[in-house]
Amino acid sequence: MRIACLLAPLFSLAARLRSEPALMREPVVIFEGEGQMARVVAAARPARQAGVQAGMSLPQARGLLPKLIARGRDSECERAAQSALQEAAETLSPHVEDAEPGCVYLDVSGLDRLFPGPAGESDVGRAALSAAAAQGLAARVGIAASKLAARLAARTPPSPRIVLPGEERAFLAPLPLERMDPPAALLDTLSSWGIRTLGELARLPVKKVTTRLGEEGQRLHEAARGVDREILVPRREEPIYREGLVLEWPLVTLEPFLYYAESALERLVRRLESRGLGCRRLRLSLQLEPEGFEERSLELPVATGEVKTLCTLVRLHLEEQPPRAPLVGFTFTADPDRPRTAQLSLFGPAELSPDRVATTLARLATRLGPGRLGSPRPEDGHRPERGQRADFAPPPAPDFRPAPRRGRGLLGMRVLRPALPLEVIVEGEGDPSARWELVSLRTLVPGEAGTGESGERPARRPQIEGAVRVASGPWRLEERWWGSEALERDYWDVELSSGVLARIYRDGTNGEWFADGLYD
């Protein structure tokens, strides 16, 4: 077996720089603790060049570098960066083990066949570095026959570092004991014996080392000889696509939040695209000052990977329902789904672009609101207004472009929902349907702008008025005549003196008249 170790040095710092790439070249340190007890955990290269080191107190670091930029450890950033590192490894191998923070192992046995050339496994290592860089992480790679040798190779420049089969002991021999991170007491004992490197330890007799140093000494002696009993254990759980950030100060307005939100959504979409996925549902967790939380869920009509669309969706949602307190942190979680695909056609018309359709539908959903986007579907029954809404799914393009139809024109009808109540005026007495030449129609509802069903957007109702010139009908509609919900209607098509062509009907149960649609 050949095992590669993908390692992100100074992981807490790398995770923060991935979330805030604008700080990439700045003197940044990551600290833990509060006040005078705050300690530096990791420092960027500009800060290290000024003398800042891990373990210093934050006031000491600021004394060395007044322009120091300090950021606290962010568990959400580190969790997302660890998932991104695993996903980068999974682009090369399906067998990936999540080890410690900033470190993953992957089985690369046989992958050198996919990278023809004299470099062999070096190309595999460079591909792993490129995959990590695409996720915004600067990493190192080591490849060897065991996890131990691969991890030490990743810590040893240059990267990628390849340990050939059978050369593990020779590679480990010159390395100092500190590379193995042994307990301090064990390291002091070995130093008093004059043992400084792994090679010197490997030459000691096994029984004497075990007798004097116990189990810890035995394990360290085996590692120095290149013996690693740990096997690679791939993870089996589904990845969680989550990105977030703990803010340095509370935010009370929307615009600063959208700046950080767009960057987090870009990272989230980049991870989804690496697996050929899109976002179908976006969940937003808001951390409020001082200790509050709000959970939001934003549904999308189809899976999309458009960052601007997702950002617009978040903005419109928060403008409509703003948080009840200042924000101190947030987390985006994407529920992934396969985006739509289109089959290319050589002879027929071009398919609709799935990406553009998904983006357009998501934008319409943000503007129209939930429950207002879809395709009409008929329901079982004879009542014309009966129907339901289904998800929009454009049919595939035909195999061949159909020939254009020849005709004098097309007649379409704009259906009125709900139907408009009509006032029927008859000169004299009698049934209007028997004396259409003496009938005039007029809508009972004015044709001015009114209020829509939700009370949010205005809805315009057409004005129907005039004497009937021509009438055609009736067409009888009956439904559920045997029950209490019986329906009986008579439909007519009429032409009015005002030039309006309309379809009207009379309700047989109460005798009221309605306009069902207008012909164009």
| pTM of the complete model beyond 0.85 | no
Residue-level pLDDT at 385: 79
Lowest mean pLDDT among 171-185, 337-351, 369-383, 468-482: 337-351
Domain boundaries, the chain: 3-165, 240-399, 413-519
Q: What is the pLDDT of residues 245-256, one digit of tens each?
A: 999 889 999 999
d(CA 42, CA 27): 11
Question: Phi and psi (nearest 5°) for 100?
Answer: -85, 170
Q: Which amino acid is at 373?
A: L
Residue-level pLDDT at 417: 83
Residue-level pLDDT at 462: 85
CATH class of 3-165: alpha beta
Higher pLDDT pick, 403 / 418: 418
Please report, rounded to a whole number, the percentage of residues in the chain having pLDDT higher than 70.
Answer: 90
pLDDT band at 450 (very low <50, low <70, confident <90, very high): very low
Q: What angle do CA 207, 212, 213 make, to 5 degrees?
A: 100
Structure tokens at 209: 């080392």
Residue-level pLDDT at 453: 45
CB 66 within 8 A of CB 27: no
Q: Which fold has domain 240-399?
A: Dna Ligase; domain 1 (3.30.1490)
d(CA 302, CA 27): 43
Residue-level pLDDT at 107: 94
Is the pLDDT score of 511 beyond 60? yes
12-51 core/surface letters (b: 16 or more CB in 10 A; e: else): bbbbbbbbbeeeeeebbbbbeeeeeebebbbbbebbeeee
Q: What is the mean pLDDT of residues 282-297?
A: 91
Mean pLDDT, the chain, whole residue set: 86
Residue-level pLDDT at 369: 72
CB 142 within 8 A of CB 48: no
pLDDT band at 411 (very low <50, low <70, confident <90, very high): confident
Q: What is the pLDDT of residues 20-70, one digit of tens each?
A: 999 999 999 999 988 888 999 999 999 999 999 999 999 999 999 999 999
Q: Which amino acid is at 144?
A: A
pLDDT band at 226 (very low <50, low <70, confident <90, very high): confident
d(CA 319, CA 296): 13
Q: Is 391 exposed, middle or buried (0-12, 13-18, 19+ CB in 10 A)?
A: exposed
Lowest mean pLDDT among 71-75, 104-108, 353-357: 353-357
Q: What is the pLDDT of residues 110-122, one digit of tens each?
A: 887 787 665 678 9
